[in-house]
Structure 1
Amino acid sequence: MMAEVGDADVEDVRQKTLRELHAQFFEMVPIRRMKWKSEVTESSELGPDVQRLVLQATVTSPLCQKYPPCLTYQKTFMKQFLHLLERFDVEICDEVYEQYTELLSQEEEEDDTLCYKTYQLPCGSPVSLQESVHLISQGTTGLSTWQAAQHLAEWSFENSHIYENRTVLELGSGLGLTGISICKQCKPTQYHFTDCHPQVIFLLAKNIELNLADGKSFLTSQHSPSRKKDVSIMKKIRRQLSLNAEAMINELGDIVEVCMSPTTPPPGEQEGIIQELLNDLADFELSTGVWNRDSELPYGTLKKDPRVSLSKLDWGQPNQELLSRLSADIILGADLVYDASIISDLVPLLKSLLTHQTLSTAPAPVAYVACTVRSEDIRDHFLYSLGKEDLKYEVVAPPCERIFHYDRSVPIEIVKIYA
């Protein structure tokens, strides 16, 4: 005989379902792939009270006010929610119509090319990142969080023991999801974030400040010259990103609908904006109120927590003094091998890092690289290049638990590499 489900059990299931919806919404899971569990989509469960709970978990959540997803995404979510309610022919509460109307009244701006995605960690702590809605922006893949970064973070949560009393160096940190998540969840002794693209480094620094320095991004003084410069740079990055939104994705199948900003200048002005941005954005831009910047090297440590560092690392011509500073027990990387042309710089760098030990008694360094296998030829070329440099490798078991909501249709492998 089937056990009766009590009110407390129903409430528990409902809250779990709403938490899942909340997580998907703030990760900006493509609407077409968003999973609406039956506990919410049963017509008998879609009364006005549940509708208000859905709004509170998403578009009217305090988190949405503080770190909002893309405006277009919010509109499309509400449109889908309305379609769901109409399909089940339930009474739609006034708040749903009011919220949708409010969103529709807001105009797209160039700010919409950069938005926030928020990821919930197992420890309960959120990670909010400012990202680009474009997969490839400004000639770099680093302005968006890729699946391999989420996969590597999930694997790290299940293998947190490897970070205990260890210094970690991350290559190609991008916008910081993997590193910030590990710093919050796994508590390594020291964590070195690195990248090489100036705009990526600028946004990475802001995301580190936001999540690891009590949100003291852009400094504390609203009127300080440093803050004004940061705001100016951010606006120019956003405006330049809006210039690249040439492809319209009207069905929101894979990301979100990308629209040209009404303030987008004509093509003749674009070069001027790019040059203006390059003039303002130094090769290694850090806020002096938040970071201790090295006087000679492109390296800085977080004032609030000197165990966290950020540096510009050129794989092709690495500064040897900087490499010495970045000596680590564990080297991490996610989606580093997306182009065969990168391998000739990456593999020698890995060999240098894995064979450099400051203490003879210290454990040998080891690297973990998460590779999205879009092309088996590129993956095989990477593994072959490791062998040519006398580096050993093995593919480790993937994470068991699914924490984040990324597309898992393309296989991702985590390769352990050692000398």
Structure 2
Amino acid sequence: MIMQIINSIGQALFMAFSMFWEILWPLILGFTLSGIIQAVVSHQSIARALGGDSPKHLGLATLFGIASSSCSYAAVALARSIFQKGASFTAAMVFQLSSTNLVIELGIILIVLMGWQFMVAEYLGGLLMVILLALIFRLTLTRRMVERARAQAEKGMMGKMEGHAAMDMSVSGSSFWNKLFSGKGLTAVSNYFVMDWASVWVDIALGLLISGALAAWVPDSFWQAFFLSNNPTLAKIEGPLMGPLVAMVSFVCSVGNVPLAAVLWRGGISFGGVVSFIFADLIILPILDIYRKYYSWKTMGYILVTMYITMAVAGYVIEFLFAALGIIPQNRNVVAITEGVHWNYTTVLNIIFLVLAALMVIRFLRTGGLSMLKMMNTPAEQMDHHDHEHHSMDGAD
């Protein structure tokens, strides 16, 4: 009996590690690219550009979100920050939606772990969600609701990762390349790289462990019955409605829910269902509690309902569009779950990118990075931006 338990735990850990090994280099690459973009785009520029809810403002909110951190908690905290600084409520919500569903690292991981179709579905569905959310807000969001949300936001109630969201380490310069390859630019990239890792590693680890346990302990027959796999029509109807609900209670957000999505896909959830599941990292229970603190109970309920609708509708549209094009994957065997470590291109790329990550960490430590880690959950209003930036960039030239 004891040996069976040990073997079962070992199998779950092996599957979790197998998925981690597959997504390691995409994570490093994605966070590096994200760090580069964040290093050249300041938070103040974002807030100034998002003062309305016109197509132009929402387009900029989408672009700034893509260039931001993929950490859901940091995205929600930064959305409140730019809302307080003058961004419209719609633009702030579009920003946080884009910063978790349209970021670079998410697409790379989806390609590696699940296939290009899921990456295309994620990005296309994410853009569709932005449009749907903007339309719903235009039809239902009242001035009184916005005023209530702003009054609550001004109270400055503590959420999570607020210090990380408030850290603006972007650099100035005459051109993109001058900013990037200056000493301050390289330090800013390394700072964002390490801080983003520090903000999401718990979610990634939790997602991998939960995914490994579900893959090892829960038989596919359970998922097939749960997702009505034996009835394709009902499965397509249920999937986009059930996907966000499963995500809500998983407590896993950001890129950490992709391994769990792979397990659900292998188990039989519909294509639209797995896509809507990935979208739902912004309505997990801990983040709903943060909305309550940031914007009030009523606004939290409004955000939950409107986002759930957009996630489900986007899932349906993606399902039927991809079905019409005949590009929904038919193979549900996610090899990365059970493949383990082999000497192949994945191992070679992991070694290369681990060297890059080591160089980033070394620069981060040499430029006073450890003190920054202690401020990741500091309330935003207590952050001294000027002193922090000076400290983080000192000695980088």
TM over 0.5: no
Q: Which structure has the bigger radius of gyration?
A: 1
With normalisation by structure 2, the TM-score equals: 0.27
With normalisation by structure 1, the TM-score equals: 0.26
Q: Which has the higher strand share?
A: 1
Q: Which has the higher helix share?
A: 2
